[in-house]
């Protein structure tokens, strides 16, 4: 019995030693394209402080389009997918809140890599270039961080997610911080946006109480 016990202890020590010598990557979850899918067969319904929002995906020949629609706004982005990540090529916003309305169309000097693949917790990435917003060209930068792997419970269910932070900054001082929780097969299931700046849109959003937007998935609809 004593001999067996010693063998078990030695075995445990050897296993611990081998694990300690394994490269960091082998012990870390790797997140891939499944966390940012373009699935046109599902419709996602979100609840937020700006009301209910419905998200759909359209698949075009050369790009994907994510369209978010509510009573107060329409927000769509066009993406291309490459082997090393997801890239934004255009952002279109229509805001209609009380007495304030705005139409914004943004393209970029080159596609912005919003999320790189593969991705691990602790990874950081960045991009800087130019945007053309309603015909005016200004500089813009993006920094991103993979913050944590979190399990969250929402009305739509329980999800194991990758939490990321995206920070956009424009030369005129406009800043947008996005926290996104991404679930495999669904993409964004929870989001928090913080909007700062002294522009007309930022001031109007702040006055109306929408300088911080929280959104959570409440329903998954499977389309035929």
Q: Where are the domains of the chain?
A: 2-222
Q: Which SS3 state, helix, strand or coil, does residue 206 take?
A: helix
Distance of alpha carbon 213 from the chain centroid: 14
What CATH number labels 2-222? 2.40.360
Q: How many residues in the chain?
A: 224
pLDDT for 157 equals 97
Give the pLDDT of the chain (224 residues) as one tens digit per residue: 454 444 544 444 444 444 444 444 435 799 999 999 999 999 999 999 888 999 999 999 999 999 999 988 899 999 999 999 999 999 999 988 766 678 999 999 999 999 999 999 999 999 999 999 999 999 999 999 999 999 999 999 999 999 999 999 988 778 999 999 999 999 999 999 998 865 555 545 554 455 688 999 999 999 97
Could you tell me the pTM of the whole model?
A: 0.82
Q: Model confidence over 75-96: pLDDT tens digits?
A: 999 999 999 999 999 999 998 8
Helix H or strand E segment including 157: strand 157-170
In the chain, which residue ranges form alpha helices assigned H by DSSP? 2-21, 200-207
d(CA 108, CA 129): 8
pLDDT for 221 equals 97
Helix H or strand E segment including 139: strand 136-154
**Residues 201/93, Cβ–Cβ less than 8 Å:** no
């Amino acid at each position: 019995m004593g001999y067996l016990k010693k063998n078990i202890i030695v075995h445990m020590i050897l296993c611990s030693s081998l694990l300690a010598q394994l490269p960091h990557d082998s012990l870390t979850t790797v997140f891939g394209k499944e966390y940012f899918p373009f699935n046109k067969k599902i419709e996602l319904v979100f609840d937020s402080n700006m009301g209910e929002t419905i998200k759909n995906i359209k698949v075009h020949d050369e790009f994907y389009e994510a369209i978010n629609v509510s009573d107060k706004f329409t927000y769509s982005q066009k993406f291309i997918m490459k082997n090393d990540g997801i890239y934004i090529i255009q952002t279109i916003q229509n805001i209609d809140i009380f007495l304030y309305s705005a139409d914004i169309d943004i393209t970029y000097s080159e596609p912005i890599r919003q999320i790189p693949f593969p991705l691990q917790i602790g990874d950081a990435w960045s991009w800087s270039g130019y945007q053309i917003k309603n015909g005016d060209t200004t500089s813009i930068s993006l920094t991103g961080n993979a913050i944590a792997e979190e399990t969250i419970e929402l009305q739509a269910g329980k999800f194991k997610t990758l939490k990321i932070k995206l920070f956009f900054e424009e030369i005129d001082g406009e800043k947008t911080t996005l926290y996104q929780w991404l679930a495999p097969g669904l993409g964004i299931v929870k989001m928090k946006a913080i909007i700062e700046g002294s522009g007309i849109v930022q001031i109007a959003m702040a006055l109306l109480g929408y300088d911080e937007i929280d959104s959570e998935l409440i329903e998954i609809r499977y389309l035929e």
